[in-house]
Protein backbone atom coordinates (compact mmCIF):
# COMPACT_ATOMS: atom_id res chain seq x y z
CA UNK A 1 0.00 0.00 0.00
CA UNK A 2 0.87 3.69 -0.26
CA UNK A 3 -1.28 4.85 2.61
CA UNK A 4 -2.71 8.36 2.96
CA UNK A 5 -3.82 10.63 5.83
CA UNK A 6 -7.40 9.41 5.30
CA UNK A 7 -8.40 6.41 7.41
CA UNK A 8 -11.54 5.90 5.31
CA UNK A 9 -9.65 5.75 2.01
CA UNK A 10 -7.01 3.46 3.45
CA UNK A 11 -9.61 1.05 4.82
CA UNK A 12 -11.33 1.00 1.43
CA UNK A 13 -8.02 0.13 -0.24
CA UNK A 14 -7.26 -2.57 2.32
CA UNK A 15 -10.70 -4.12 1.84
CA UNK A 16 -10.23 -4.17 -1.93
CA UNK A 17 -6.76 -5.74 -1.75
CA UNK A 18 -7.84 -8.35 0.80
CA UNK A 19 -10.77 -9.28 -1.45
CA UNK A 20 -8.40 -9.59 -4.40
CA UNK A 21 -6.05 -11.84 -2.44
CA UNK A 22 -8.99 -13.99 -1.33
CA UNK A 23 -10.20 -14.37 -4.91
CA UNK A 24 -6.71 -15.46 -5.88
CA UNK A 25 -6.76 -18.19 -3.23
CA UNK A 26 -4.98 -16.65 -0.24
CA UNK A 27 -5.66 -18.21 3.16
CA UNK A 28 -3.59 -15.73 5.16
CA UNK A 29 -2.99 -12.07 4.29
CA UNK A 30 -0.84 -9.36 5.80
CA UNK A 31 -1.10 -5.58 5.53
CA UNK A 32 1.76 -3.07 5.94
CA UNK A 33 2.68 -1.13 9.03
CA UNK A 34 0.27 1.79 9.46
CA UNK A 35 -1.83 0.58 6.55
CA UNK A 36 -4.65 2.64 8.07
CA UNK A 37 -2.94 6.01 8.36
CA UNK A 38 0.19 7.83 7.18
CA UNK A 39 -0.08 11.41 8.38
CA UNK A 40 2.26 14.38 8.00
CA UNK A 41 3.31 14.32 11.66
CA UNK A 42 4.05 11.48 14.07
CA UNK A 43 1.67 12.90 16.66
CA UNK A 44 -1.24 12.82 14.20
CA UNK A 45 -1.66 9.10 14.79
CA UNK A 46 -2.70 9.76 18.38
CA UNK A 47 -5.95 11.32 17.14
CA UNK A 48 -7.01 8.05 15.45
CA UNK A 49 -5.73 5.69 18.16
CA UNK A 50 -8.37 3.16 19.20
CA UNK A 51 -9.17 1.49 22.49
CA UNK A 52 -8.33 -2.23 22.56
CA UNK A 53 -11.12 -4.18 20.85
CA UNK A 54 -13.02 -1.09 19.73
CA UNK A 55 -13.05 1.23 16.75
CA UNK A 56 -13.56 1.24 12.99
CA UNK A 57 -10.05 0.05 12.06
CA UNK A 58 -10.18 -3.06 14.24
CA UNK A 59 -13.75 -3.72 13.14
CA UNK A 60 -12.79 -3.49 9.47
CA UNK A 61 -10.05 -6.09 9.95
CA UNK A 62 -12.39 -8.42 11.83
CA UNK A 63 -15.11 -8.03 9.20
CA UNK A 64 -12.68 -8.73 6.35
CA UNK A 65 -11.41 -11.91 8.01
CA UNK A 66 -14.96 -13.14 8.60
CA UNK A 67 -16.24 -12.17 5.15
CA UNK A 68 -13.44 -13.90 3.26
CA UNK A 69 -12.87 -16.69 5.80
CA UNK A 70 -9.14 -16.15 6.04
CA UNK A 71 -6.49 -15.02 8.51
CA UNK A 72 -5.83 -11.28 8.46
CA UNK A 73 -2.65 -9.85 9.96
CA UNK A 74 -3.60 -6.20 10.21
CA UNK A 75 -0.23 -4.58 9.65
CA UNK A 76 -0.29 -2.10 12.51
CA UNK A 77 -2.62 0.49 13.94
CA UNK A 78 -2.28 2.85 16.91
CA UNK A 79 -3.84 1.47 20.09
CA UNK A 80 -4.27 3.68 23.14
CA UNK A 81 -1.71 3.08 25.86
CA UNK A 82 -3.54 4.73 28.74
CA UNK A 83 -1.30 7.79 28.46
CA UNK A 84 -2.75 10.66 26.42
CA UNK A 85 0.53 11.44 24.64
CA UNK A 86 1.48 7.87 23.73
CA UNK A 87 0.09 4.85 21.91
CA UNK A 88 1.17 1.32 21.05
CA UNK A 89 1.97 0.38 17.46
CA UNK A 90 -0.12 -2.78 17.47
CA UNK A 91 -0.27 -5.67 15.03
CA UNK A 92 -3.70 -7.28 15.42
CA UNK A 93 -4.44 -10.68 13.91
CA UNK A 94 -7.96 -11.92 13.15
CA UNK A 95 -9.03 -15.51 12.60
CA UNK A 96 -11.39 -16.60 9.80
CA UNK A 97 -14.34 -16.29 12.19
CA UNK A 98 -13.47 -12.65 12.88
CA UNK A 99 -12.18 -13.09 16.42
CA UNK A 100 -8.98 -11.44 17.61
CA UNK A 101 -6.40 -14.25 17.60
CA UNK A 102 -3.28 -12.32 18.59
CA UNK A 103 -1.94 -8.85 19.26
CA UNK A 104 1.69 -7.82 19.19
CA UNK A 105 2.88 -4.35 20.21
CA UNK A 106 6.09 -3.28 18.44
CA UNK A 107 8.99 -3.74 20.84
CA UNK A 108 11.78 -1.80 19.12
CA UNK A 109 11.10 1.87 18.37
CA UNK A 110 12.83 3.35 15.35
CA UNK A 111 15.18 6.31 15.71
CA UNK A 112 17.27 7.68 12.84
CA UNK A 113 19.01 10.95 12.06
CA UNK A 114 21.38 11.39 9.13
CA UNK A 115 21.26 15.17 9.20
CA UNK A 116 18.56 15.32 6.53
CA UNK A 117 15.99 12.82 7.81
CA UNK A 118 14.97 12.60 11.44
CA UNK A 119 12.67 9.99 12.95
CA UNK A 120 12.03 9.08 16.58
CA UNK A 121 9.05 6.82 17.29
CA UNK A 122 9.67 7.10 21.01
CA UNK A 123 8.16 10.58 20.92
CA UNK A 124 4.66 9.12 20.53
CA UNK A 125 4.93 5.35 21.04
CA UNK A 126 5.44 3.04 23.97
CA UNK A 127 7.37 -0.17 23.35
CA UNK A 128 5.52 -3.47 23.62
CA UNK A 129 6.40 -5.83 26.47
CA UNK A 130 6.98 -9.21 24.84
CA UNK A 131 7.22 -11.32 21.67
CA UNK A 132 4.03 -12.88 20.31
CA UNK A 133 3.39 -15.89 18.08
CA UNK A 134 0.15 -17.64 17.15
CA UNK A 135 -1.11 -20.69 15.30
CA UNK A 136 -2.96 -20.07 12.04
CA UNK A 137 -4.25 -23.60 11.70
CA UNK A 138 -1.15 -25.75 11.20
CA UNK A 139 1.13 -22.75 10.57
CA UNK A 140 3.07 -21.25 13.47
CA UNK A 141 3.48 -17.50 12.87
CA UNK A 142 5.85 -15.14 14.70
CA UNK A 143 4.94 -11.45 14.74
CA UNK A 144 7.27 -8.47 14.37
CA UNK A 145 7.11 -4.95 12.95
CA UNK A 146 9.50 -2.96 10.75
CA UNK A 147 12.48 -1.87 12.92
CA UNK A 148 12.23 -5.17 14.84
CA UNK A 149 13.84 -6.69 11.75
CA UNK A 150 17.24 -5.44 12.92
CA UNK A 151 17.14 -7.46 16.15
CA UNK A 152 17.75 -11.17 15.45
CA UNK A 153 17.38 -12.06 19.13
CA UNK A 154 13.65 -11.31 18.85
CA UNK A 155 13.27 -13.95 16.14
CA UNK A 156 15.34 -16.42 18.12
CA UNK A 157 12.94 -15.98 21.02
CA UNK A 158 10.03 -16.61 18.67
CA UNK A 159 11.71 -19.63 17.10
CA UNK A 160 12.77 -21.16 20.41
CA UNK A 161 9.79 -20.26 22.59
CA UNK A 162 9.55 -22.72 25.52
CA UNK A 163 7.05 -25.47 24.87
CA UNK A 164 6.43 -24.38 21.28
CA UNK A 165 7.71 -25.66 17.96
CA UNK A 166 9.72 -23.31 15.73
CA UNK A 167 7.85 -20.79 13.61
CA UNK A 168 6.94 -21.70 10.05
CA UNK A 169 6.43 -18.06 9.09
CA UNK A 170 7.72 -14.73 10.35
CA UNK A 171 5.67 -11.61 9.60
CA UNK A 172 7.36 -8.23 9.15
CA UNK A 173 4.86 -5.50 8.19
CA UNK A 174 6.84 -2.33 7.61
CA UNK A 175 7.11 1.28 6.52
CA UNK A 176 10.87 1.39 5.95
CA UNK A 177 12.30 4.71 4.90
CA UNK A 178 13.60 4.84 1.35
CA UNK A 179 17.15 5.45 2.61
CA UNK A 180 17.35 2.56 5.07
CA UNK A 181 15.26 0.25 2.91
CA UNK A 182 17.49 0.61 -0.13
CA UNK A 183 20.50 -0.31 2.00
CA UNK A 184 19.20 -3.06 4.27
CA UNK A 185 15.61 -4.27 3.69
CA UNK A 186 16.12 -7.31 1.46
CA UNK A 187 19.41 -8.20 3.13
CA UNK A 188 17.81 -8.40 6.57
CA UNK A 189 14.66 -10.21 5.44
CA UNK A 190 16.65 -12.92 3.72
CA UNK A 191 18.94 -13.23 6.73
CA UNK A 192 15.99 -13.74 9.09
CA UNK A 193 14.59 -16.42 6.76
CA UNK A 194 17.92 -18.23 6.46
CA UNK A 195 18.89 -18.18 10.12
CA UNK A 196 15.45 -19.34 11.29
CA UNK A 197 14.85 -21.66 8.32
CA UNK A 198 11.31 -20.48 7.76
CA UNK A 199 9.24 -18.33 5.44
CA UNK A 200 9.13 -14.55 5.86
CA UNK A 201 6.24 -12.36 4.72
CA UNK A 202 6.98 -8.63 4.55
CA UNK A 203 4.07 -6.40 3.45
CA UNK A 204 5.38 -2.85 3.15
CA UNK A 205 4.45 0.72 2.47
CA UNK A 206 6.00 1.50 -0.90
CA UNK A 207 5.98 4.76 -2.81
CA UNK A 208 5.63 8.52 -2.45
CA UNK A 209 2.83 9.37 -0.02
CA UNK A 210 0.55 12.40 -0.16
CA UNK A 211 2.56 13.90 2.70
CA UNK A 212 5.72 13.80 0.57
CA UNK A 213 7.31 10.97 2.51
CA UNK A 214 8.77 8.17 0.41
CA UNK A 215 8.86 4.61 1.69
CA UNK A 216 11.01 1.85 0.26
CA UNK A 217 8.34 -0.76 -0.46
CA UNK A 218 9.59 -4.01 -1.99
CA UNK A 219 6.90 -6.09 -0.28
CA UNK A 220 8.18 -9.61 -0.53
CA UNK A 221 7.91 -13.24 0.51
CA UNK A 222 11.11 -15.19 1.21
CA UNK A 223 11.46 -18.95 1.55
CA UNK A 224 13.49 -20.87 4.20
CA UNK A 225 16.57 -21.00 1.93
CA UNK A 226 16.53 -17.23 1.51
CA UNK A 227 15.07 -17.22 -1.99
CA UNK A 228 12.73 -14.33 -2.81
CA UNK A 229 9.52 -15.93 -4.08
CA UNK A 230 7.68 -12.74 -5.03
CA UNK A 231 8.20 -9.01 -4.72
CA UNK A 232 6.40 -5.76 -5.56
CA UNK A 233 8.88 -2.86 -5.71
CA UNK A 234 6.43 0.04 -5.32
CA UNK A 235 2.76 0.93 -5.46
CA UNK A 236 -0.27 -0.89 -4.15
CA UNK A 237 -0.96 -4.49 -5.05
CA UNK A 238 -1.04 -8.10 -3.89
CA UNK A 239 2.10 -10.19 -3.48
CA UNK A 240 1.42 -13.91 -3.21
CA UNK A 241 3.36 -17.14 -2.76
CA UNK A 242 2.60 -20.67 -1.65
CA UNK A 243 3.95 -22.03 1.62
CA UNK A 244 5.20 -25.60 1.52
CA UNK A 245 5.68 -27.47 4.79
CA UNK A 246 7.87 -29.99 2.97
CA UNK A 247 10.21 -27.19 1.92
CA UNK A 248 10.70 -26.16 5.56
CA UNK A 249 11.31 -29.75 6.62
CA UNK A 250 13.76 -30.34 3.76
CA UNK A 251 15.85 -27.25 4.54
CA UNK A 252 15.97 -28.09 8.26
CA UNK A 253 16.90 -31.71 7.55
CA UNK A 254 19.64 -30.93 5.03
CA UNK A 255 21.21 -28.21 7.17
CA UNK A 256 20.16 -28.78 10.81
CA UNK A 257 21.35 -25.39 12.04
CA UNK A 258 18.48 -25.03 14.50
CA UNK A 259 19.60 -28.25 16.20
CA UNK A 260 23.22 -27.06 16.25
CA UNK A 261 22.45 -23.75 17.95
CA UNK A 262 24.29 -23.08 21.19
CA UNK A 263 23.64 -20.21 23.60
CA UNK A 264 26.92 -18.38 24.15
Whether the per-residue pLDDT at 258 is higher than 70: the answer is: yes
Q: Where are the alpha helices (DSSP H) in the chain?
A: 7-23, 56-68, 152-159, 178-196, 245-254, 257-260
Residue 262: the pLDDT is 84
Q: Which of 36, 50, 106, 198 is catalytic?
A: 106
Q: What is the pLDDT averaged over residues 23-30?
A: 98
Establish whether 33 is a catalytic residue.
yes
Establish whether 210 is a catalytic residue.
no
Superfamily of the domain at 7-260: Carbon-nitrogen hydrolase (3.60.110.10)
pLDDT digits (tens, 9 = 90+) for 90-118: 999 999 999 999 999 999 999 988 888 88
Q: Which of 146, 167, 198, 236 is catalytic?
A: 146
Residue 116: the pLDDT is 84
Establish whether 106 is a catalytic residue.
yes
Residue 119: the pLDDT is 85
d(CA 156, CA 260): 13
Predicted TM-score of the model (pTM): 0.97
pLDDT digits (tens, 9 = 90+) for 56-74: 999 999 999 999 999 999 9
Amino acid sequence: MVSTPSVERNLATARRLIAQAARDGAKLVGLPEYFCFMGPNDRDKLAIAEAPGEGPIQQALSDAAREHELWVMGGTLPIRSGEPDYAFNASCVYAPDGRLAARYDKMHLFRYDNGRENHDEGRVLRAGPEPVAFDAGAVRVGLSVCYDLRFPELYRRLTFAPGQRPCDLLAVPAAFTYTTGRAHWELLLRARAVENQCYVIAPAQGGTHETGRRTWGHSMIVDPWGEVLNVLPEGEGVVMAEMDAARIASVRAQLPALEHRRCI
